[in-house]
Amino acid sequence: MHEGIDILVHEVGPRDGLQSIETVFPTEAKLDWIRAAAAAGVPQIQVGSFVRADLLPQMADSADVVRQSIDIPGLTVSALVPNLKGAQNAITAGAHQVGVVMSVSEAHNKSNVNRTVDESLEGFRQIVEYRNEADPDRKTVISGGLATSFGCTISGSVPVRDVMKRAEQLLELGADRLNVADTVGFANPKQVKDLFEELYRTVGKDVPVGAHFHDTRGMGLANAFAALEAGVRELDSCLGGLGGCPYAPGASGNVVTEDLVFMLEAMGLRTGIDLDALLEVRESMEKHLKGEPTQGTFVKAGPPLGFVPATAA
Amino acid sequence: MHEGIDILVHEVGPRDGLQSIETVFPTEAKLDWIRAAAAAGVPQIQVGSFVRADLLPQMADSADVVRQSIDIPGLTVSALVPNLKGAQNAITAGAHQVGVVMSVSEAHNKSNVNRTVDESLEGFRQIVEYRNEADPDRKTVISGGLATSFGCTISGSVPVRDVMKRAEQLLELGADRLNVADTVGFANPKQVKDLFEELYRTVGKDVPVGAHFHDTRGMGLANAFAALEAGVRELDSCLGGLGGCPYAPGASGNVVTEDLVFMLEAMGLRTGIDLDALLEVRESMEKHLKGEPTQGTFVKAGPPLGFVPATAA
């Protein structure tokens, strides 16, 4: 955890946001966003995804973006990878953290990466092995991502015991941390609190665990609060809730970074982020969008009278 | 509490929603809404406000609406009143519950009803006295409302001890229940949980307590969840989040009823409300709006695959 903050807000907009919209941001526009967000105090940013460029042209420059981001003072640079090749490229480019994706739902994993979950676990093993050889000091953190942990658009509900089983397997294979995702916006706050409490009972309180929520059914912040109640201290979010239409099934926006930061700061939890500066980053980022919508309430409502952010207190 | 439900959803749209918009609903349109909502299982509806008709023409027919609602099977009819005269009219019309308004913030109370809080308490005492004489069986429930309990647009933060003091005074004067309101949309979930926990410590677990939230800063559902965590079992909300522009200071919409009901039912808490029928009520209600906006995510996203509402389980 970065010093002087209580909750780590992990900005995933340059990856999850940009990969879900039509507009392709030029590399320089991504870097402007990343530099400005870091200057506003954002401690960690997922800057890209190492997928095939023909499948996701928005992410084709990810290696370049990582290379140009890793020396920004105070910033942890993360990248998403679907397989060993992506992980090799991300680690070679110098990413501080590599997030490896896997769905707990067999049907979703098959549809997403055309593998069984066990095959994805074998891929994860190879990624850790590669990291341990290429990076003996293990400076690059490997995050094991558990997508569809709260439900699946193909198979409906996902058993909690499946999430626990995959979490344990990822840790046995060498994951440094876990990221538990409501990939398709199905979660409710009771489910979130129960699942994270069960997860901490299963893997112990010392494993760093992040949570990733979408706001599809208006419960993004409620789920974030529920995760905090269970002990989670790292939350993904996306500036402006970028990620396209919040109501198309499976394509809804992430929790809005500035709304999340406001909620945390209002609750007395330091994020290290300056909200005014963050709104300026949002404004700059929006200039590159070609009419695609952003979300958020804080940008419109502003802070309540007398608000003192925890970070400034 | 009504039988067979875990959480009482108190629909305040025909009062809080309609009084905040330009459109004046004809009496018959209000009654259509109220009857259809009751048929969908909504257990309690605030059908009007007994204020001066020249100040709020939208509420001029409140006595008539109450009289025509009180025999709807299974429905508890509530009305808001600002003073003794309003309470007399509401009780005479037959309201099952009368909500008396008072702000914890002196500045807000002065601005809203031109009284000190102590003067409002004296008014409350007279209302209880009137009810006890006019209705010796005390069939009409008197709800003591604590507005601006989480902050005030005029004076900023509101001390928790002030909320506790006024809550105790209302109960000493004969309030049958309390309603704690985030009138201006300042609350965050930690504050909500802390305040309700403190309130139950102060007044005891047996006092029925309702909570009223606005969604000004996207935290309506998060605050509702936090209130549930503290033990609250009665929540106000508004169909379609009616109540006009959610971003004008002091005029933002209530928590959206259908989003709240979905959250509760998804968490396994029975509301007694049929969500499909509720969306039909929303559609009918919207036809009377003259271009004024509604809010809500459930109406667009629908239920997740495999969703079974607690009420139907």
State yes or no: pLDDT of B78 exceeds 70. Answer: yes
Nearest CA to B312 among B257, B255, B262, B273? Answer: B273
Chain centre to alpha carbon of residue B75: 15
Least Cα separation, residue B304 to chain A (angstroms) = 6
Inter-helix orientation angle B62-69/B27-39, to 10°: 30
SS3 assignment, position A209: strand
pLDDT for the residue numbered A252: 66
State yes or no: pLDDT of A18 exceeds 80. Answer: yes
State yes or no: pLDDT of B247 exceeds 60. Answer: no
**What is the arithmetic mean of pLDDT over B89-115?**
96
**Residues of B labelled as active-site residues:** 245
SS3 assignment, position B238: strand
pLDDT tens figures, B171-209: 999 999 999 999 999 999 999 999 999 999 999 999 999
CB contact under 8 A, A267 and B156: no
Q: A313: how many CB neighbours lie within 10 A of its CB? A: 8
| Residues A311 and A273: beta-carbon distance below 8 Å | yes
Supply the mean pLDDT for chain A. 94
Interface check B224 vs A, CB under 8 A: yes
Chain centre to alpha carbon of residue A304: 28
Tell me whether strands B8-11 and A234-237 are parallel, antiparallel or unpaired. Answer: unpaired
- The residue length of chain A stands at 313
Residue whose entry in the numeric block shows the structure tokens 């605030």: B46
CB contact under 8 A, A191 and B267: yes
CB contact under 8 A, A219 and B224: no
- How sure is the predictor about A246, in pLDDT bands with cuts at 50, 70 and 90? very low
Tokens of residue B24, six digits: 């004046």
pLDDT for the residue numbered A144: 98
| Nearest residue, CB atoms, B219 vs list A151, A229, A263 | A263
**What is the arithmetic mean of pLDDT over B296-305?**
93
Go through A155-164 and write b for each residue having 16 or more CB atoms within 10 A of its CB, e for each that does not: bebbebebbb
Identify the DSSP state of A311: G
State yes or no: pLDDT of B261 exceeds 50. Answer: yes
Least Cα separation, residue B126 to chain A (angstroms) = 34
**What is the arithmetic mean of pLDDT over A86-112?**
96
pLDDT for the residue numbered B198: 98
- How sure is the predictor about B263, in pLDDT bands with cuts at 50, 70 and 90? very high
Q: Which residue has the higher pLDDT, A210 or B248?
A: A210
Chain B, 181-200: which have a CB under 8 Å from a chain A CB? 184-186, 188-191
Using an 8 Å CB-CB cutoff, list chain B residues near A229.
229
Supply the mean pLDDT for chain B. 94
| Nearest residue, CB atoms, B259 vs list A218, A268, A297 | A218
Dist. CA B35–CA B113, nearest whole Å: 32
Nearest CA to B181 among B153, B152, B212? Answer: B212
| Nearest residue, CB atoms, B305 vs list A153, A216, A306 | A153
C-alpha dihedral sign at A35, A40, A42, A46: negative
Q: Which of A245, A267, A308, A312 is catalytic?
A: A245
- How sure is the predictor about B3, in pLDDT bands with cuts at 50, 70 and 90? confident
pLDDT for the residue numbered A127: 98
State yes or no: pLDDT of B106 exceeds 90. Answer: yes
Which residue intervals of A49-207 are DSSP H helices? Answer: 62-69, 84-93, 106-113, 117-134, 160-172, 189-203
State yes or no: pLDDT of A242 exceeds 80. Answer: yes
pLDDT for the residue numbered A171: 98
- How sure is the predictor about B264, in pLDDT bands with cuts at 50, 70 and 90? very high
Rg of the Cα trace of chain B?
Answer: 18
The most distant pair of C-alpha atoms in chain A lies apart, rounded to whole Å, by: 54
Q: How far is CA A113 from CA A110, B124, B274, in A?
A: 6, 65, 38
Interface predicted TM-score of the whole assembly (ipTM), two decimals: 0.96
CB contact under 8 A, A218 and B217: no
Dist. CA B190–CA B200, nearest whole Å: 16
pLDDT for the residue numbered B79: 98
pLDDT tens figures, A122-171: 999 999 999 999 999 999 999 999 999 999 999 999 999 999 999 999 99
Partners of B103 in the β-ladder: B147
pLDDT for the residue numbered B250: 40
The most distant pair of C-alpha atoms in chain B lies apart, rounded to whole Å, by: 54
pLDDT for the residue numbered B249: 44
Size of interface A-B (CB pairs under 8 A): 134
State yes or no: pLDDT of A264 exceeds 70. Answer: yes
- How sure is the predictor about B251, in pLDDT bands with cuts at 50, 70 and 90? very low
Dist. CA B102–CA B82, nearest whole Å: 8
pLDDT for the residue numbered A15: 95
What backbone torsions phi and psi does residue B71 show, to the nearest 5 degrees?
Answer: -100, 5
Interface check B252 vs A, CB under 8 A: yes
Residues 6+ apart with CB under 8 A from A252: A184, A185, A214, A215, A216, A243, A244, A245, A246, B301
**What is the arithmetic mean of pLDDT over A29-35?**
98
Residues 6+ apart with CB under 8 A from B201: none
Residue from B188, B216, B229, B245 to probe the interface with A (highest A Cβ count within 10 Å): B188
CATH code of the region A8-312: 3.20.20.70
Using an 8 Å CB-CB cutoff, list chain B residues near A218.
220-221, 256, 259, 263, 296-298
Residue from A235, A267, A269 to probe the interface with B (highest B Cβ count within 10 Å): A267
Dist. CA A105–CA B308, nearest whole Å: 19
CB contact under 8 A, B218 and A306: no
Residue A245 is among the residues annotated as catalytic for this protein: yes
pLDDT tens figures, A170-222: 999 999 999 999 999 999 999 999 999 999 999 999 999 999 999 999 999 99
pLDDT for the residue numbered A291: 83
pLDDT tens figures, B16-62: 999 988 889 999 999 999 999 999 999 999 999 999 989 899 999 99
CB contact under 8 A, A247 and B300: yes
Nearest CA to A310 among A282, A281, A270? Answer: A270
- How sure is the predictor about B147, in pLDDT bands with cuts at 50, 70 and 90? very high
Instruction: State percent of chain A over pLDDT 90.
Output: 88
Least confident of A71-75, A210-214, A249-253: A249-253
Q: How far is CA B24 from CA B14, B28, B227, B253, B290, in A?
A: 11, 11, 33, 17, 9
| Nearest residue, CB atoms, B217 vs list A152, A186, A262 | A262
Secondary structure (DSSP) of B150-214: T-BTTTB---HHHHHHHHHHHHHTT-SEEEEE-TTS---HHHHHHHHHHHHHHH-TTS-EEEE-B
Partners of B101 in the β-ladder: B145
Residue of B nearest to A268 (CA): B190
Tokens of residue B57, six digits: 């023409």
- How sure is the predictor about B1, in pLDDT bands with cuts at 50, 70 and 90? low
Residue A26: exposure state from Cβ atoms within 10 A (0-12, 13-18, ≥19): exposed
**What is the arithmetic mean of pLDDT over B97-116?**
95
Q: B28: how many CB neighbours lie within 10 A of its CB? A: 11
Residues 6+ apart with CB under 8 A from A310: A6, A264, A265, A266, A267, A268, A269, A270, A271
